[in-house]
Amino acid sequence: MRHAIRWLAALVVPVVLLSGPLSGAPGGKAGADADKNADKNTDKSIRAGVLVGKVAAIYEEKRKIRLQVSVSSPKLNAGALQQMQNAQIQMAQAQARRDWNGMRSAQMNLMLAQRSMYTMDTKTQDVELDTVDDVIVRTARPREEFDDKGKVKKLTRKELEEMKGPDKKLPGYKAEFGDVSTDQIIQVHLVRKKSAGPAPKPAAKPKAKPKGKGKDADGDGEAPADWLGDNMPQISMIVIMAEPPSGK
């Protein structure tokens, strides 16, 4: 479990950096204030980041969501590294011969190799997250309403304001947990309990204990599983960003 938390902590950072503003959410300074208000710390919890992913499963009774998240990380291109080394050797040889054309050619090869030095490696991981008791659910776009002829009704400014709900600082429009469904793209705001406190120090080489006791879920003995459970991030707000493709 401890490794799962470490992985989740590393996962949150790049997603926070890559996730852009919500479609249909307040723009400009108002939008920034809304996000800041939604993610603010409270007396019982502190914010732990934002994730964007596809809903893989929903456990309504447990108020838990399994989220499929894709994360890209740089990977060294061994072929480009070899090309760069070859270009450096060609450059040195051309300099020794005072071959200006050869130097320019080697420099060009060096630049091309440097551009492709790293490739992006994308991995998909499923993460199961609990929600807080009073989880907020929003939708980035207002729900479509139809008139008597079955055509999409054009909503008035007043109707849109009513759909936002009483708290105008929250992004998007009000929704319910039951509105979350599989294959939706959602943004989740994470918090962690303040009361959990710092991680307890592991005991120094405990004497002959039965295998599996006194260790965390990974068996490394670095922190008790109950403390790790209290420190697992929870979802404080869900924003439905996109519905599943038609036909699903």
- The pLDDT tens digits for 233-248 are 899 999 999 998 876 5
Q: Is residue 85 part of a domain?
A: yes
Q: Tell me the CA distances in angstroms from 179 to 70, 165, 195, one per residue in order.
A: 23, 16, 31
Instruction: Indicate if 187 and 65 belong to the same structural domain.
Output: yes
Return the half-sphere exposure (C-beta side, CA atoms, 13 A cut-off) of residue 9. 10
Q: Is the pLDDT of residue 43 over 50?
A: yes
Quote the mean pLDDT of the chain: 76
Report the pLDDT value the prediction gives residue 26, as an integer from 0 to 100: 40
Residues written for the chain? 248
Q: Is the pLDDT of residue 29 over 90?
A: no
For residues 20 and 147, the model is more confident at: 147
* CB-neighbour burial class of residue 102 (10 A; exposed 0-12, middle 13-18, buried 19+): middle
- Alpha carbon distance 49, 47 (integer Å): 6
Instruction: Indicate if 67 and 93 belong to the same structural domain.
Output: no
For residues 15 and 42, the model is more confident at: 42
Instruction: Indicate if 103 and 225 belong to the same structural domain.
Output: no
State both tokens at 131: 């929600």
- Beta strand 118-139 with 234-242: parallel, antiparallel or unpaired? parallel
pTM of the model: 0.58
Q: Is residue 206 part of a domain?
A: no
> Domain of 176?
2-71+125-200+216-242
State both tokens at 161: 């304001």
Instruction: Indicate if 31 and 56 belong to the same structural domain.
Output: yes
Which of 33-37, 152-156, 183-187 is predicted least confidently?
A: 33-37
Report the pLDDT value the prediction gives residue 31, as an integer from 0 to 100: 43
Report the pLDDT value the prediction gives residue 192, as an integer from 0 to 100: 85
Query: How many structural domains does the chain have?
Result: 2
State both tokens at 127: 């993460």
pLDDT-derived band at 167 (thresholds 50, 70, 90) equals: confident
Instruction: Indicate if 86 and 181 belong to the same structural domain.
Output: no
Residue of 7, 14, 127 whose CA lies nearest to 74: 14
Instruction: Indicate if 12 and 96 belong to the same structural domain.
Output: no
**What's the average model confidence in pLDDT over 156-167?**
88
Q: Tell me the CA distances in angstroms from 171 to 18, 88, 234, 235, 238, one per residue in order.
A: 18, 53, 19, 16, 10
> Which amino acid, one-letter code, is at 144?
E
Report the pLDDT value the prediction gives residue 20, as an integer from 0 to 100: 41
Instruction: Indicate if 221 and 177 belong to the same structural domain.
Output: yes
**What's the average model confidence in pLDDT over 1-19?**
47
Instruction: Indicate if 88 and 191 belong to the same structural domain.
Output: no
Q: Is the pLDDT of residue 227 over 50?
A: no
Of all residues in the chain, the percent with pLDDT exceeding 70 is 66
